[in-house]
Chains A and B, each alone.
Chain A
Amino acid sequence: MNAKRLSDPGGMLPLTAAVFSILLALAGSEKHGYAIMKEVSLDEGGAVSMGPGTLYGSLDRMLKASLIEETDLTDNDRRRYYRITRFGAEVLAAETSRLSRAIRSARRKGVLKEARP
């Protein structure tokens, strides 16, 4: 990850669905691989279906981009925990804001129907 990107969360946007969902899953608390995978497959986490390969490929790229980091907490070598970094939180906020603007625009144009209660 280069310094320019680290200083500018906007330089990371737009995020892929997998990266966005993982960041969102880690926003609450640190988690191990399966816990992340489970959360991103739920509706609240973006309903992104991913297997171990996609998950660890994304985690690897996110570690390199300093969006997340490993914690000291570990059950053993097989279950390592990850948490979102400060920079990752800024990127997540920027992406969420970008998506909100897109949703507002879609609503204004009548593309997105309001959900009925």
Chain B
Amino acid sequence: MRDASPLLLRVYRIALVFYPAKFRQEYRQQMLQTLRDAYCDKQTGSGKFWVSVFYDLLKSAAMERSSMLRAQILKQPIFLHTFALALIMTILGGAAAITMHGMLRRGANQPQAEMADFYSSEIFSGTSPEDAIPAGYIDLERNLQPFVIFYDEHGKPERSTGYLGQAIPVLPPGVFQYARDHGSDVFTWQPRRGVRIAAVTRYIAGTRPGYILAGRSLRLTEEYESLLRRMTFFGWFATMLLLAFGAVLLNRAQRGPLAA
């Protein structure tokens, strides 16, 4: 079998590019010579030898790069301070974005929570679902208004203001079980592909047991969320660019009079 070592030596020579330029300039020739010496004198098999050589190259190159970066940062405190500022702003911005996202999500369940409370207490107190829930037609695919559905205790829809086409959408049985066990359930419901609903369900005991579901399309909320994500990313990116630009300018301004 042909010895692959001249080829691996060439690969090693090219891979030296992983080291910082200054380090390479200083030690490239010596490293290659040491490698040639070690290869001629090796006690182990070729495979093991080259694995250890390339592992060493990757490990030490990463170490030299990080040590160079640390030295550069320490030498130029403006960059260190800028980095710290960027980190703080990223954390604060991230926390603000997460808070706003949480508020948007919580807001998506309003006014469904109040509606579910209202209709469930009406039905619990003896009003029939037909009288409690006004007639109406809200197309779940197109309309953004909140709607309400009453299901009997077996999960069969009886009265609704929300429709998918001409039919009242049916909930998965697991939701009824959860609402019965816990009193209520708050969840995101996808009755059809592309139709996502922020829904609140309450279990109603009493003379007319069943479930009330109040829901509203998530389309608007998801558009806001998408907008928030884009704004957060572009805002963060622009801030980082400005910080980097400012740091470079300040650094130049500090070095200018000395260089002159």
Binding site for B on A (CB under 8 A): 32-34, 37-38, 49-57, 59-60, 77-80
Contacts and interface: CB of A to CB of B under 8 A. Distances in A.
B53 A52 contact: yes
11 contacts: A34-B34, A34-B41, A51-B57, A52-B38, A53-B19, A53-B31, A53-B56, A56-B27, A56-B34, A78-B32, A78-B33
B52 interface: yes
B60 A53 contact: yes
B211 to A, nearest CB: 68
Contacts, number: 66
A79 B31 contact: no
Contact of B38 (A34, A57, A59): A34
B63 interface: yes
A38 B42 CA distance: 10
A98 B33 CA distance: 35
Interface residues of B, number: 24
B32 to A, nearest CB: 7
A34 B53 contact: no
A60 B31 CA distance: 12
Between A32, A57, A80, the greatest number of chain B beta carbons within 10 A of the residue's beta carbon is seen for A57
Secondary structure class of chain A's binding surface, majority of residues: helix
Given A33-B34, A53-B64, 20 more contacts: A33-B31, A34-B33, A34-B34, A34-B37, A51-B35, A51-B52, A51-B56, A52-B32, A52-B34, A52-B57, A53-B57, A56-B30, A56-B34, A56-B60, A57-B64, A59-B27, A60-B23, A78-B29, A78-B32, A79-B33
Given A60-B26, A77-B29, A78-B29, A54 B34 contact: no
Interface in B1-49: 19, 23, 26-27, 29-35, 37-38, 41
B100 to A, nearest CB: 47
Contact of B56 (A34, A38, A50): A50
Contacts of A56: 23, 27, 30-31, 34, 60
B61 interface: yes
Interface of B: 19, 23, 26-27, 29-35, 37-38, 41, 52-53, 55-57, 59-61, 63-64
B192 to A, nearest CB: 59
Contacts of B29: 77-78
A65 B33 CA distance: 25
